[in-house]
């Protein structure tokens, strides 16, 4: 008797799957902090998968004049046994910095096979992003790296925001990230400093507009919208509330962390509501029992269009450690089930 078809096997024929990214992206600059983050990453697991990614920072982490040494250290860490979860990304210098091509040469040339994604900061427009993407592909070709290296693009200027839909549609783009503090600074004092933190970051019209446009452009192009950091380091409730508002009010599915204490509150806040998880599990179990044909559930019709929504919601719940009904966990997330390449925020 054949096993019931897994949702990942039937719901995405001919469609681009949504990127599978953890709900939190933790930035670290120094070797010491990167190693500490990798150790924590190996401890905070769900079904042997890390609940957050680590991004090693060449832009703000590299001491002036020692950029090459810093990039080499990161390349070594990508190949280090400490990176056994293989979720250590890298932010390189921006396109106006004289060292960004050298960052690519060192990091992709030495450790491109281990690089899960590359972060491009401070693009002024789509052409800036494309310049770095083309250079990335050139280095890949030079070193015979056939696998795609996804790109995460930071929106930190009004010009980049103006072209965010074009940026989100570029090759290899996996996420669109909002750089709040640089974005505020780029407005020459027209936006007050209070908009760099809550509640101003959610209520100031120019910031709220930027967040809406970034989330819409990302989701409209099938990539992940990533929310900016919160500057609060000591109060997890503030971090959790910022992450909750980012998800529920603006549609962000991933958020930056700049301190290890921020990781768990972000992941918790990015989880779908328990009632939504229960409903999604019930609908998907019934759909699988009906071989993925249309069903009636509590007086409402559901078919593959709604099944995709509920499958992505359930995948996100699983990836963030939410409680799942046992039958749904057994059917959809047991070790023998195919690994979904859909949403895992």
* pLDDT one-digit tens code per residue, 326-335: 999 989 987 6
How many other C-beta atoms lie within 10 A of the C-beta of residue 76? 13
pLDDT band of 13, cuts 50, 70, 90: low
Question: What pLDDT score was predicted for residue 335?
Answer: 61
Pick the most confident of 65-69, 111-115, 316-320.
111-115
* pLDDT one-digit tens code per residue, 20-76: 899 999 999 999 999 999 999 999 887 778 999 999 999 888 888 899 999 999 999
pLDDT band of 10, cuts 50, 70, 90: confident
Identify the structural domains of the chain with CATH numbers, from first to last.
7-12+273-333 (no CATH), 24-269 (3.20.20.60)
| DSSP for residue 179 | -
43 φ/ψ angles, rounded to the nearest 5 degrees: -95, -30
pTM: 0.88
* pLDDT one-digit tens code per residue, 240-287: 999 999 999 999 999 999 999 999 999 999 988 889 999 999 999 999
Q: 57 vs 128, 154, 277, CA distance in Å?
A: 19, 13, 35
Least confident of 11-20, 78-87, 168-177, 199-208: 11-20
What are the start-end ranges of the E strands in 228-336? 254-257, 295-297, 300-302
Within 13 A of 216's CA, how many CA atoms are on the CB side? 10
Question: What pLDDT score was predicted for residue 41?
Answer: 95
Helices and strands: H and E segment counts in the chain: 15, 12
Question: What pLDDT score was predicted for residue 333?
Answer: 87
* pLDDT one-digit tens code per residue, 128-151: 999 999 999 999 999 999 999 999
In 3D, which of 313, 309, 286 has the Cα closest to residue 297? 286
């Amino acid at each position: 008797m054949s096993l019931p078809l897994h949702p990942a096997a039937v719901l995405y024929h001919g469609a681009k799957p949504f990127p599978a990214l953890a709900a939190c992206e933790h930035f670290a600059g120094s070797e010491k902090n990167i190693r500490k983050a990798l150790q924590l990453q190996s401890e905070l697991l769900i079904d042997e998968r890390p609940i957050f990614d680590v991004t090693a920072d060449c832009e703000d982490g590299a001491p002036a004049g020692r950029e090459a040494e810093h990039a080499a250290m990161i390349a070594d860490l990508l190949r280090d046994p400490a990176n056994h979860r293989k979720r250590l990304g890298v932010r390189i210098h921006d396109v106006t910095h004289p060292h960004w091509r050298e960052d690519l040469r060192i990091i992709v040339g030495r450790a491109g096979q281990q690089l899960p994604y590359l972060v491009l900061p401070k693009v002024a427009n789509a052409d800036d992003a494309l310049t770095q993407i083309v250079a990335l592909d050139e280095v890949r070709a030079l070193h015979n790296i056939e696998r795609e290296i996804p790109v995460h693009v930071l929106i930190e200027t009004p010009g980049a925001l103006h072209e965010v839909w074009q940026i989100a549609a570029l090759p290899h783009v996996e996420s669109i990230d909002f750089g709040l503090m640089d974005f505020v600074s780029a407005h020459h004092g027209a936006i007050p400093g209070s908009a760099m933190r809550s509640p101003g970051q959610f209520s100031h019209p120019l910031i709220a507009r930027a967040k809406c446009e970034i989330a819409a452009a990302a989701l409209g192009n099938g990539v992940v919208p990533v929310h900016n950091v919160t500057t609060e380091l000591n109060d997890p409730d503030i971090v959790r509330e910022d992450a909750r508002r980012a998800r529920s009010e603006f549609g962000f599915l991933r958020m930056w962390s700049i301190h290890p204490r921020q990781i768990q509150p972000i992941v918790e806040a990015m989880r779908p509501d328990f009632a939504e998880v229960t409903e999604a599990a019930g609908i998907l179990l019934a759909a699988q029992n009906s071989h993925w044909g249309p069903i009636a559930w509590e007086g409402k019709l559901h078919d593959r269009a709604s099944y995709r929504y509920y499958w992505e919601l359930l995948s996100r719940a699983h990836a963030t450690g939410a409680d799942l009904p046992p039958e749904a966990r057994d059917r959809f997330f047991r070790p023998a089930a195919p690994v979904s390449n859909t949403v895992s925020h």
